[in-house]
Structure formats: structure tokens, C-alpha cells
Structure 1
Amino acid sequence: MNSFKLFKHSLYQFTDLNQAKKMPFWKVIFYVFFLSIILALPITKQIFSIMQDIKNDGQEIAKKLPDFDIKDGTLHTAKSAEGFIYQTNSIIFTFDPDGKRSLSDVTADSIGNAVGLGFLQDEFVVSLPNSGTADSLLGSNQFEVPYANSTLDGLSSKNLKQALDEASVPFWIKLIVFVFTLYPTFINLVINLLFITIGANLYSKIRLYNLRFLDCLKITTYCATLPVIISSLLHFFNRSFDDSFLIVITSLLIFFFAIRKEERQTPPLV
């Protein structure tokens, strides 16, 4: 029996999943990758949706921007230009050419998962949502780009609006996002499968089934197929859904059905 047949049996014919114990281990590993891809799809879609929201919100904010340009380390605007704060679903934007606000003020404005952005009098600032992940990866959730260091020299409201209108996410960026999403998903699934296998192996010993730990691992991997698919579908509707409990418990229940055809050892005589 191959992985495709086991996949079909994992959806409706659980009692044949005990045949997974005969599968080569390298095929089982590839199947774990396949399940990880299923779990990573809704997370990747959510990330792409957030990126699109930020782009759309950026275009909305750009329409509100007065004419400005950055030359020789200085922000130049028309005399009539006034500062403002504008909030969308993903961005809280500050335009303050008069020096009334600071990075700490932009950070204080941030609510929930919104990103704080600001063109201040002397610098461009970014404030990411408070997150331990951001701090560990980037070292901080607040960033300043002074106009004086010439990084933003030549930037103007006109070319900023044009860049936002023409912006699109290249395929290679999407691929990188997917790979970075797949890695932690794979690790988390492996950990869940180990927990399932420990429970399954204990159950098989109590019930006197002649199954090794590796046999239980192979069987539970295919038993996790339906729970993984259900978890992935639920993720499309609820981003904060924690799938670990569902996958572990449901996979164990399917395992109980899967090994019913297994031969049991004769209990020792007392």
C-alpha cells in the first residue's frame, strides 16, 4: 500500500491505516512535509492578506499626504501643509513637519496589531506592535531613519504615491514567506506527532498489540491526516485557533480504530 491509498483511507476507512507500519520511514517523513504544507496554507494566506491590507491602507494614506520632498537631510513642505494623524486597520500614520511629535508619541498611538509610521520633522519612524518575536529577531520594535543620513534623500510625496500604486509582491517574496511559514509548522507538527505516538504506544502496550514505537509513529502520522485537514479549514475562519489539541486528541481516536485488525499477544499465565 502506498501513501496515496493511505491518504484516501485516512479520510473514511480508518481500519486500514495499520498498514502504514509497512511504509518506509523516508516516505513517512515526506508525508509529514505534505501535512505541514496543508497546515501552512491558511497561515500563508493570512500573511498575504495582511501584506495586501498594508498596501491598500498605504495607498489610502498617500491620498491624504500634502506635497513634500526630502532634500539635503531636510523635510520640505508647502507653508500651508499641516500635520495630521490618520488611522486605518493596519497602519496609524503621523505626518508632523512642525516637530510637535516624537517616536514615543507614535509608539503610544499604536493599538493592537497596527503598525505606527511617521514622517516627523527630522526623521522617519516605524513602531511595530509589541511582540517578543519582533524584539528577538530585530532587537527592537522601534526604528528611526534620520533625514540627515541621506537614506531618504530624493523621496517625495509624488514618487511615494507612484511607488504605492505600482507596488506588487513578487513571486520569490511569496515563496520565501511560505518557506518561513512552513518551517515552524513542520516542527510543531513533529512535536504533536511525538505526543500522539507516546499515547498510542502506551495504549498498544496496555492492549497487548505487537507494535513497536516506530510502528505507532508511522500509523499515527497517517491518522493525523483528517485532523490536519480539519484544523487547516478552521484556520481559514479563525486565525487564533489553536490546532494542537484537536490534532492530538482526534489522531489518537482514529488510531484506536486503525489498530483494531492488529493481532494481540496472548497474556502471560499467572
Structure 2
Amino acid sequence: MSLIQLAKHAFFNFPQLKEARKIGLGKIIAYILLLSSLSAIPITFQVLQIFKDIQTDGQEIAKQIPDFSIADGKLKTDNAEKGFIYQTDSIIFTFDPEGRRTPEDVSKDMVGNFLSVGLLSEELIVSLPSNDATTSILGSNQFELLYTDLTDANLLNGKMLRNILANQQLPWWVFVVIFIVALYPSFLSLIASILIATLFGNIYCRFRQVRYSFLDNLKITTLCVTLPVVVATIVHALTYTFDSSTFVLLSTLFIFTRAVRPEKNIT
């Protein structure tokens, strides 16, 4: 039985999934990548939506930015502009030429927003949400750029910043990059679910005296995870708070018990 036929059986004929043990390991790995790609789609669109929200809010913030320049490592305004804080749905923007705020203040402002940006008197601050993913990938959730570190201070001024924010467009390759980044945790999460389900499946097979090897059970489990991943992907696309990992694991275990259950002989 081919892998495509088994994938069809994964939706309505669970006992046939035991035939997956005859499929080559290379095809099984490719199938896991295919399922991971499917589960990465909702994450990709969610992240894209965040980028679009930031783009829209950035255009709104652009209208609020006054004329300024950088001189002697400090932020200078052309008309003695006072500082202000402007908040949108995704961004909190701080403009502080008077030096009243600190980088810590900018970071603390970020409550319920995705991004906090501060043009302070001596540095530019960008703060992202503080979580394990941000820390592990970027090393820090806050980035600071001293104006004295700029090779050309004329590169940063009010007109330039307004033009960047007002005219920015997301290039097509951003979608590809986001998808690849989303694919990595999706693949790891799916691999973890399959391995855990296989371990429990081995125990179940021993109790039921089903003599399959660990590799056999791994292949069967990979096909058993098909329906849970499809359902989880659909639900995840509708709600961000769905615990897909737990659902996929428990559903896969249930389908596995149906797939490897010995057939009863009718005499």
C-alpha cells in the first residue's frame, strides 16, 4: 500500500494504518515535513498579520514625527518640540528630545503591545516582548543604538524616518522567511508528539501482545498523527489560544490504539 493510500485511510480507516510499517523511513521523514509545513501555515499568517498591523501603525506614527536631526550624539528638534508618547494597537512610540525618559521606561511601556520604540535624547531604543523565544533567538528583547555610534548622523532625521514609515511595503520574500522560521518549531513539536506517542504505543503493544518494533510503531504513529494535525491546523487558524500539542498527542494515541488493535478471528 502506498503512502498516499495510507494518508487517505488516516481519515476514515484507522486499522489500515498498521501497514505503514512497510513504508520506507525516508518517505516517513518526508511525510513528517509535509505535516509540519501544514501546521506552520496558521503561524505564518498570524505573524504576517502582526507585520501588517505594525506597518499600518507605523504609517500612523509617521504623521506624528516632527522634524529633528542628530548633532553631537544628541537628538535636536528644529522648533523646540516637546516630547510625547503615541500609542497604537501594536506600537508605543516615545519621542523624548528633553532626556526625561530612560530605556527602562520605554521597555516598561510595552503592555499588551508587540513593539515599543523610543527616540530618546541620546539613543534609539527598540523593545520586543520578553519571552523565551525572543531571548533564545535574539539574545535580548531590547536593542539600544547610541547616536554616537552612527557612522553618518545625517542618515537619521525626521524626514527620513517619516518617509520610511509612510512608504514601507512588505516584500514577497518576507512570507517565505516567516514560513521557514515557523516551520522549525512546528517540526520540533510534531517530532516530540510522534516520539512520545510511539513510546506509549510500544507499551500498549506489549500489553496487547502485538509484536511490532519501535521503528514499526514510529511509522504507524506518523500516519496516525495525520488527522489530529489537520484538525489542529484548522482550529489554530481560528483561535490563537488552542493547545494543539496536547490535542495532537492524545488524539494520535487514541488513533494508534485503533490502528494496531488485533483483529478478532470469527470462527
Using structure 1 for the length normalisation, give the TM-score.
Answer: 0.89
* Alignment match, 2:199: 198
Offset, 1:214: 1.4
- Structure-to-structure mapping, 1:17-166, within 5 angstroms: 17-71=17-71, 73-151=73-151, 152-166=153-167
How far apart are the structure 2 equivalents of 1:188 and 1:256? 21
Query: Which letter does structure 1 place at the counterpart of 2:22?
Result: K
Residue 243 (1) aligns with residue 248 (2): no
Amino acid across the alignment from 1:212: S
Aligned partner of 2:210 in structure 1 is 209
CA deviation map 1:75-94 (0-9, x unaligned): 23232522110111211110
Q: Which moved more, 1:79-88 or 1:116-125?
A: 79-88
Match of 1:255 in 2: 256
- Aligned amino acid, residue 120 of structure 1: L
CA displacement 1:114-164 (0-9 Å, x = unmatched): 321111112211222222333333333222212222255322222222222
Once the two structures are superposed, residues 204-263 of structure 1 have per-residue CA deviations (whole angstroms, 9 ceiling, x without a partner) of: 221122322211111111110010011111211222322121111111111222224658
- Does the 8 Å CA contact 2:92/2:113 hold for their aligned counterparts? no
Q: Counterpart of 1:134 in structure 2: which amino acid?
A: T
Q: Cα deviations across residues 8-28 of structure 1 (Å, max 9, x unaligned)? A: 111122222121111111101
Provide, for residues 18-52 of structure 1, a one-character-per-residue CA deviation record: whole Å limited to 9, x for no partner. 21111111101111111111111111111111111
**Partner in structure 1 of residue 16 of structure 2:** 16
Q: How far does the alpha carbon of each residue in 1:48-86 deviate from its partner, in whole angstroms, 9 at most, with x for none?
A: 111111111111111111222335544232325221101
Q: 1:39 to 1:243 in 2, by over 3 A?
A: same
Q: CA deviation at 1:174?
A: 2.7
Question: In the alignment, is the contact (CA less than 8 A) between 1:128 and 1:141 conserved in 2?
Answer: yes
Specify the SS of the correspondent of 1:64.
coil
Q: Which runs of 5+ in 2 are unaligned?
A: none
- Considering only aligned residues, what root-mean-square deviation do their CA atoms show, in Å? 2.0
User: Which amino acid in the other structure matches residue 168 of structure 1?
Assistant: Q
**One-letter amino acid matched to 2:92:** I
Call closer, same or farther: CA 1:251–1:132 in 2, change over 3 Å.
Answer: closer
Partner Cα distance (1:88, 1:163) in 2: 18
Q: Which residue of 2 aligns with 1:267?
A: none
Correspondence for 1:176: 177
Q: Deviations 1:148-193 (Å, cap 9, x if unpaired)?
A: 2225532222222222233223333332222222122112211110
Identity in percent: 43
Deviation at 1:3, TM superposition (A): 1.7
- The answer for the alignment partner of 1:186 in structure 2 is 187
Structure 1 window deviating more from structure 2 (38-47 vs 152-161): it is 152-161
- The question of whether the paired residues in 2 share the 8 Å contact of 1:71 and 1:154 is answered with no
What amino acid maps onto 1:245 in structure 2? T
